[in-house]
Amino acid sequence: MGRLLWAIQAWYAEMENDERSESIRAGHARARAGGKQIGRPRRIFDRQQVVTLRDREKLSWPEIARNLGVGVGTVRRAYAALTCRQTPGKRGKLPTAALQARSGELPGTVEF
């Protein structure tokens, strides 16, 4: 009898979770349709300057980030988006999908 009650409670909790998830998704869709931005606001800085400082001035990622007053990850994402190149990670390796796309194993392009 105890197992049955436990199973019923677990099923009921799962159903509540599903309903909660659906209502959250619906609320996000309604907010987006109303023109609201969901998530953290984007940093405002000159993204083209990142490419200039990296390619012409040969500055490191932390130096560029310090100059522009943003984080290193923000600088790297801006560089990748503007140059259509993915930068190596902390250990100097590209993600597997990027390597496969460059070698022609995956069809299409890698999104950055």
Confidence of residue 96 (pLDDT cuts 50, 70, 90): low
* Highest averaged pLDDT of the listed ranges 12-21, 54-63, 81-90, 101-110: 12-21
User: pLDDT at position 39, please?
Assistant: 87
22 within domain boundaries: yes
The predicted-structure confidence for 34-80, as pLDDT tens digits, reads as follows: 999 888 888 888 888 999 999 888 899 999 999 999 999 999 988 98
60 within domain boundaries: yes
Number of residues written out for the chain: 112
81 within domain boundaries: yes
Is the same domain home to 60 and 31?
no
Is the same domain home to 62 and 89?
yes
Query: Is the pLDDT confidence value at 93 over 60?
Result: no
Is the same domain home to 51 and 98?
yes
Rg value, the chain, Cα: 22
User: pLDDT at position 53, please?
Assistant: 92
CA dist 102 and 58 (Å) reads 24
| Residues spanned by the domain of 73 | 47-103
CA dist 29 and 95 (Å) reads 31
The predicted-structure confidence for 73-91, as pLDDT tens digits, reads as follows: 999 988 988 887 666 565 5
